[in-house]
């Protein structure tokens, strides 16, 4: 399960996916762009997001900017390292078993796993890990995290009910 940006490669840290270019953009990516946010780049993740450290064979380990001998956590460790180092104020992340919360904790950031169905996953995938995997972000502040919810029109409409 990935957030695809049309015309780019999303490897998930796996050599199996290194040459597959996305033929579409996922709904969350479309809404991010429509909200006026810029997609800055892609960050490192463990192979297929399956570990709590970000040390894929394909790209090598990500480092915690607070202490380069430590991990930024995983699977959103690359995103957390980018935010904690001050490159960007927030980065997309996903969480099935702690992959937002662990890196946020390791890097001194804010990390929230939203409730199921709060952010869109389609069109390529439905509910990852039986509804346990959720997309949101790691951010410098609660305010920045809340701002990412505004990218999701459905969430905005539902929260005003």
- Judged against a pLDDT cut of 50, whether residue 160 lies above it is answered with no
Please tell me the predicted confidence (pLDDT) of residue 121. 65
The count of other CB atoms within 10 Å of the CB of residue 3 is 23
The answer to whether residues 95 and 77 touch, using CB atoms and an 8 Å cutoff, is: no
Please tell me the predicted confidence (pLDDT) of residue 11. 87
In whole angstroms, what is the distance from residue 126 CA to residue 112 CA?
Answer: 21
Please tell me the predicted confidence (pLDDT) of residue 72. 95
In whole angstroms, what is the distance from residue 64 CA to residue 7 CA?
Answer: 30
Residue corresponding to tokens 């539902």? 158
Q: Locate the domains of the chain by residue range.
A: 15-159
pLDDT band at 141 (very low <50, low <70, confident <90, very high): very high
* pLDDT tens-place string over residues 65-115: 999 999 999 889 999 999 999 999 999 898 888 999 999 999 999 999 987
Question: Which fold would CATH assign to domain 15-159?
Answer: Amidase signature (AS) enzymes (3.90.1300)
* pLDDT tens-place string over residues 12-60: 888 998 898 999 998 888 888 887 888 888 898 888 888 888 898 888 9
Please tell me the predicted confidence (pLDDT) of residue 136. 86
The DSSP call for residue 91 is E
* pLDDT tens-place string over residues 32-44: 888 788 888 889 8
* Interior angle at CA 138, CA 59 and CA 28, nearest 5: 85
- Judged against a pLDDT cut of 50, whether residue 148 lies above it is answered with yes
In whole angstroms, what is the distance from residue 81 CA to residue 42 CA?
Answer: 12
Rg for the chain, CA atoms, rounded: 15
pLDDT band at 129 (very low <50, low <70, confident <90, very high): low
């Amino acid at each position: 399960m990935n957030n695809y940006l049309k015309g780019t490669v999303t490897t998930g840290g796996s050599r199996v996916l290194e040459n597959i270019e996305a033929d579409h953009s996922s709904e969350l990516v479309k809404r991010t762009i429509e909200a006026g946010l810029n997609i800055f780049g892609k960050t490192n993740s463990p192979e297929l997001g399956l570990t709590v450290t970000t040390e894929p064979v394909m790209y090598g380990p990500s480092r915690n900017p607070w202490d380069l001998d430590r991990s930024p956590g995983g699977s959103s460790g690359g995103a957390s390292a980018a935010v904690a180092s001050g490159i960007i104020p927030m980065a997309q992340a996903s969480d099935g078993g702690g992959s937002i919360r662990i890196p946020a904790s390791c890097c001194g950031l804010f990390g929230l796993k939203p409730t199921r169905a709060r952010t869109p996953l389609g069109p390529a995938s439905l509910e990852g890990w039986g509804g346990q995997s959720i997309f949101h972000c790691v951010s410098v502040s609660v305010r920045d995290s809340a701002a990412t919810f505004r990218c999701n029109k459905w969430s905005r409409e539902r929260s005003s009910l």
